[in-house]
Chains A and B, each alone.
Chain A
């Protein structure tokens, strides 16, 4: 049974208000609590280690998989390995995400290792939201590791979101793209207090006409620290664009170190990085429409992280 806290966290990380339609797996405090497979999407527990295999049959269209994780106890260190097989020509939505409600003073940590095999011509949209709350002083720690293999003509769109509440995160995302594969990673992050966030991305464009776009938008408030390290390597005729954009506030610190490497003369790679405060003119403009200074700031941040 899911408690009220569980349900609130599910709503935050997976936009779930009820038990989802279609395939799903809900993991709570280190154990699977509810699971459902469908005719086209099979979810089964791994036999050698904690985690699940999600197998989407070739040609499956318009279906979704929800695999939220919730942690509601302190002193828990959860490690999970999930493997996704997205069959040829399939087109699916995967909603992951982890919410921690830490009631105590000890750390609660979730380390998710996700590996995706996106077969020929398949499309996947992946949404991962991270959220933390809890009345205690216990740290809420999330360290996701995501590895993607995109076969010929495969497309993946990743939306990685962490808004508030996660004390410490180290994300690692790695992808390898074959011919005509396409990958878009959109990362949105807001840190506050004394939080620390690090995001390391490595994309290798191995096949001809592989393309990728990395868009990172972040806001660092209070004394929080953020480090971004997106890297794109072009091994063939390919295109890549990396964009890191951060709003810095208070006494926060942000480092953005985008790297592009071309090992082929037809690789077209671009990176852009910008860190700055909210422009005074933006605040003034919104105030001149009748918003208070605080409302103006919130409106700007909300839009930026949308």
Chain B
């Protein structure tokens, strides 16, 4: 179980101090699938980075299974079972896909990383010896990033907009895959997303806006409340042009 108690985050920016998150209180249960959504700039990614230890809260505490992890660094939290899939994963010259996945899986795991690549829809034969560098497309890199989390035994798996760059048809299959995999380890899954298809997979939705938790509840409760706020900005045009048969992906 992951708990945030009165967590606030302020960052020193060019224009002075900016409050990114304000008094966040959240309890996230094991084996639950949460989707965090909300407008851009609302603090969603900052919240994920706080949980991974990339940012430290200005005030408040973060607890993992009753242990205070507020002052633990990234490595220590990773070793406790927190994982984070980047929105824009970094590239590494000279590091192969296989090597990256082996680092993720840890020293004591079997050397075979094929399954994790299968799970994200990549052919292991084609990909495992490739470098994680600029030769990979954005979508390939995102899939490999997801595989680095699948390779680990996690208590908390954070995915920051994992669908970006991955075609939606494959992504539907992908979400089912990691849902099933994490269930095995009792992982808490937290996905930041705007995609209705991903929102519909969630046990619970959390809406973050203006640095606060605006709503939290089951998708049946939340969806009608937040639809207007995160709803499509082009909905008016969309309705007017409905006869053009553009497929709505929301």
Contacts and interface: CB of A to CB of B under 8 A. Distances in A.
B16 interface: no
Contact of A286 (B52, B82, B103, B152): B103
A285 B144 CA distance: 13
A284 B93 contact: no
Contact of B54 (A282, A284, A302, A306): A284
Given A288-B52, A289-B148, A289-B152, A303 B75 contact: no
B250 to A, nearest CB: 30
A306 B75 contact: no
B32 to A, nearest CB: 21
Interface string A291-306: 1110000011011111
A279 interface: yes
B99 interface: yes
Contact of B74 (A282, A288, A299, A304): A288
A287 interface: yes
Interface in B78-92: 78-79, 82-84, 86, 88-90, 92
Q: By DSSP majority rule, is chain A's interface helix, strand, loop, or mixed?
A: helix
B103 A299 contact: yes
A245 B91 CA distance: 15
B90 A305 contact: no
Contacts of B99: 303
* Interface size of B as a range: 20 to 34
A231 B152 CA distance: 46
24 contacts: A217-B94, A279-B90, A281-B86, A281-B88, A284-B74, A285-B86, A285-B89, A285-B90, A287-B74, A287-B78, A288-B74, A288-B82, A288-B83, A288-B84, A289-B104, A289-B152, A290-B78, A290-B79, A291-B78, A292-B75, A303-B92, A303-B94, A303-B99, A304-B93
Given A281-B88, A289-B152, A303-B93, 5 more contacts: A285-B86, A285-B90, A288-B82, A289-B104, A306-B94
The 5 A-B pairs at the shortest CB distance, nearest first, are namely A303-B94, A303-B95, A281-B90, A287-B74, A290-B78
Interface of B: 52, 54, 73-75, 78-79, 82-84, 86, 88-90, 92-95, 99, 103-104, 106, 148, 152
Interface of A: 217, 245, 279, 281-282, 284-293, 299-300, 302-306
